[in-house]
Chains A and B, each alone.
Chain A
Amino acid sequence: MSVIRPPEDVAVVDTHEGQQSLLKRLGNTQSVWILGVLVVIVAFFSVAAGGKFLSASNFSLISQNVAVWAVLGVGMTFVIITSGIDLSIGSVLVFSSVVAAKVMEAVGGQGWGTAIIGIAAALVSGLFWGVINGYLVAKAKIPALIVTLGTLSVALGLAQVITGGIDVRSVPEAMTDFNTYIKILGIPSLPFIALIVLVIGGIVLHRTKFGRYTYAVGSNEEAARRVGVRVDRHLIRIYALSGLLAGFAGTMSLAQFGTTTIAGQSLTNLNVIAAVVIGGTSIFGGEGSIFGTVVGLFIPAVLQAGFVIIGVQPFWQGVAVGTVLVAAVYVDQSRRAAALRGASSTNPLRAMLRRNK
């Protein structure tokens, strides 16, 4: 079990914390390692396709494609850190956007007034599903996989009932124009909004008690409970957050496409989960970072764009992402196994992959 190390009675206290904290704030080692993978991919396409790939318009396109998933990814990161899962986000996105579109249709008008009412409707819808998920996971103790698989089906089904299965196109111009024309600090509007959500999510996760309890619940739920963390309430909040962000992503999707996307979100949940996990968030809970999720989101998006530019069939993206996903989880598991064996492993690769410094 425990490894006896050389005499430990010397009062040595780590003095290198200042140097470490910046790196640590960026996330754990896996997300840094996976950032390296992303850099290699970008470098490869830059060499292969030159200016075409490195152009501002290409990156603008990539960031557009990532924006909606990024907002979902923030919620998913919190959920997975608690060792949960939320499969319902794609359906909740659809449901919320359908409700928002229907409400905006009923209100009428093309301005921001209508849009804000629609956004509020989407947020309430998303929050509603999130609270249901959270309550069933935390209080009814049903496994998150089953709960969210259920709400995935119910939310999508209800969205189809509401619309008769036909996409609603009544999105006010204020919203679609916002996506098409507006740039903030040179960044297209939707990616900019996603960036704000990411930054806030990162601050909340890494700097506040809410974030700390998220890690604690995922790391050792019983320990958290014993020290007085209200675990059930926290889990409900986490799933509620995920639902709320899915609702918000629903409005972003409306702005992006000018229509609901009832049939178009069936793989969104899995893609977001893949991105979060590739980014170093452990499906076993207790570990993860928003930064990692961002990197994890960009890998499939960059691959997709890159393959198109260099003329490879874009279907290869799926092959590549799946491979990276399995490799990332394999590395994660080896790292955890090494950590369990104790701190004094001498394997340099493992030592590098672990984050004790």
Chain B
Amino acid sequence: MTEPILEAKGLSRSFGHVRALDAADFDINPGEVVAVIGDNGAGKSTLVKALTGNLALDTGEIRFEGKPVHITSPQQASALGMEVVYQDLALAPHLNPVQNMFLGRELSRKGVLGRLGFMDEKTMREKAKQSFAELGGTVRSMSAPIGSMSGGQRQQVAIARAISWADKVVFLDEPTAALGVVQTQNVLESIKRVKAKGIAVILISHSMPHVLEVADRVQVLRLGRRVATFDASKTSVEELVGAMTGALDKSGEAA
């Protein structure tokens, strides 16, 4: 039994009278793709925010590589090797893919020039190209602004950015929500490649077929709790929907 790279126990968070998370558990192993599904308001986004330092918890414990951690800021999550690809991607539309990829983490030139704030554009471009190629290379231009690119290309830039800084865990929040068929397929391929690099992927999605295609395990949230965990290869859309809506009430650590 491998040790989970990221594990959460009994996470709770209330907003007024609403219990967004109600003693929710979560776990993911290195190099695993875990999908988190749930109806609207089930607490998926809250869970991601809590795990990445974007939201303070009322109670609960988070363990990273077996050690208890207290994550209070996104920067801290980054330092641990975790990155989030937000649903809105958080890209700057006027900047090109390379600039977006290195935004906030630009490589400096060596010596005095670097200290004056000059950037090593050439190395950044090479590294970015390499990252895009690793993901299947749908990003063609390194110099056009992101805003002029297709949704799939933007998604890939966001994913490439996340995995080039996260060597442990990547969160993908609804990565296929706004994409066409071809682009969705590209993103799913990208997820497989990320997994192949040994990075754990947490996939938040509404789309059951996509979830079943790429995930190893599926964890179902309902009313702020994890109500079921399924092995993706042994479950079906019907079973997942049943767990999501509560028609099929399996609580705790099922199969």
- Chain A contact residues, CB within 8 Å of chain B: 1-5, 7-14, 17, 20-21, 24, 204, 207-210, 212, 215-216, 218-220, 222-224, 226-229, 286-287, 339-340, 342-343, 354-357
Contact = CB atoms under 8 A, between A and B. Distances in A.
Interface stretch (B31-39, B89-97, B193-201): B89-97
Given A223-B103, A286-B92, 20 more contacts: A2-B180, A4-B150, A4-B183, A8-B138, A8-B182, A8-B183, A9-B182, A13-B129, A17-B143, A21-B143, A208-B119, A209-B108, A215-B99, A220-B92, A222-B90, A228-B74, A340-B147, A343-B150, A356-B148, A357-B144
Contacts of A20: 143
Nearest to B116: A208
Contact of A4 (B99, B142, B147, B180): B180
B143 A223 contact: no
Contacts of A208: 116-119
B141 interface: yes
B86 interface: yes
Nearest to A284: B94
B106 interface: yes
19 contacts: A2-B178, A4-B182, A8-B152, A9-B136, A12-B137, A14-B141, A20-B143, A21-B143, A208-B118, A208-B119, A212-B103, A215-B92, A216-B99, A216-B104, A223-B103, A227-B90, A287-B94, A354-B148, A356-B144
Interface residues of B, number: 48
Interface in B66-124: 74-75, 78, 86, 89-95, 99, 103-106, 108, 116-119
Contact of A215 (B94, B136, B140): B94
Given A8-B138, A355-B145, A2 B151 contact: yes
Given A2-B179, A356-B144, A227 B93 contact: no
A10 B178 CA distance: 22
B31 to A, nearest CB: 24
A9 to B, nearest CB: 7
Contact of B186 (A9, A207, A219): A9
B145 A4 contact: no
B104 to A, nearest CB: 3
Nearest 5 A-B pairs (CB), nearest first?
A: A11-B137, A2-B151, A227-B104, A286-B94, A208-B117
Nearest to A207: B118
Contacts of A13: 129, 132-133, 137, 140, 142
A229 B74 CA distance: 12
Interface of B: 74-75, 78, 86, 89-95, 99, 103-106, 108, 116-119, 125, 129, 132-133, 136-138, 140-145, 147-153, 178-183, 186
A22 to B, nearest CB: 12
B109 to A, nearest CB: 10
Contacts of B136: 9, 11
Contacts of B180: 2, 4
A14 B104 contact: no
A215 B95 CA distance: 8
B117 A210 contact: yes
A177 to B, nearest CB: 34
A339 B145 contact: yes
A14 B133 contact: no
Residue of B94, B108, B138 ringed by the most chain A CB atoms within 10 A: B94
B178 A1 contact: yes
Given A222-B90, A228-B75, A209 B144 contact: no
B138 A218 contact: no
Given A227-B105, A229-B103, A9 B95 contact: no
B231 to A, nearest CB: 30
Contacts of A212: 95, 99, 103, 106, 119
Contacts of B78: 228
A1 B151 contact: yes
A215 B178 CA distance: 26
Nearest to B185: A9
A326 to B, nearest CB: 23
B92 A209 contact: no
